[in-house]
Structure 1
């Protein structure tokens, strides 16, 4: 479920709540179903947005050492995208 799913749920819920005028005999309240779908869409949208922003954080660690035998410079670079500390 992503950002698009949240937007789709809000749109479908708005159509059901505001555009449909169908009487189902009182057994089902379409306005309430539309509002529930819109609320679920907003929740899915916000959760997806938080996860996308969290995934974009990057941690980079670089270590430069010299090989004692040859004197060459050794560069070691570690990168992690989920924000957890590097071991």
Structure 2
């Protein structure tokens, strides 16, 4: 449903509940319909926020410690070289 749809249900339900003087529309009570829409919007909003929060993942990256100060040797090549070329756009 999403946040927008949930807020829309809450707003429409509030208008039906608090904004109308005539609460009966045939066999339907608009106050009851308004409260139901507000409750459905609130449940949808809470579910959306819960699932958005559960999708977030923390990525932990280990950084190797710096080499000792006295060691100036070049580390051996790993066989995989990454060559990056950047061109300027004018």
TM-score, with length taken from structure 1: 0.64
Tell me the alpha carbon deviations over residues 29-87 of structure 1, each in whole angstroms, 9 at most, x when there is no partner: 0000000000000000000000111111234577xxxxxxx85077xxxxxxxxxxxxx
How far is the alpha carbon of 1:20 from its aligned partner? 1.3
Q: Equivalent residue of 2:57, what SS? A: coil
How far is the alpha carbon of 1:21 from its aligned partner? 1.9
Give the corresponding residue for 1:24.
Answer: 25
Give the corresponding residue for 1:72.
Answer: 78
Q: Equivalent residue of 1:6, what SS? A: helix
Give the corresponding residue for 2:52.
Answer: 52
Computing the radius of gyration from Cα coordinates, the structure with the larger value is 2
1:40–1:71 distance in 2 versus 1, CA, 3 Å? same
User: Where in structure 2 are there 5+ consecutive unaligned residues?
Assistant: 63-75, 81-90
For 2:19 and 2:50, the matched residues in 1 are separated by: 31
2:9 paired with 1:9: yes
1:38–1:60 distance in 2 versus 1, CA, 3 Å? same
Q: Which has the higher strand share?
A: 1
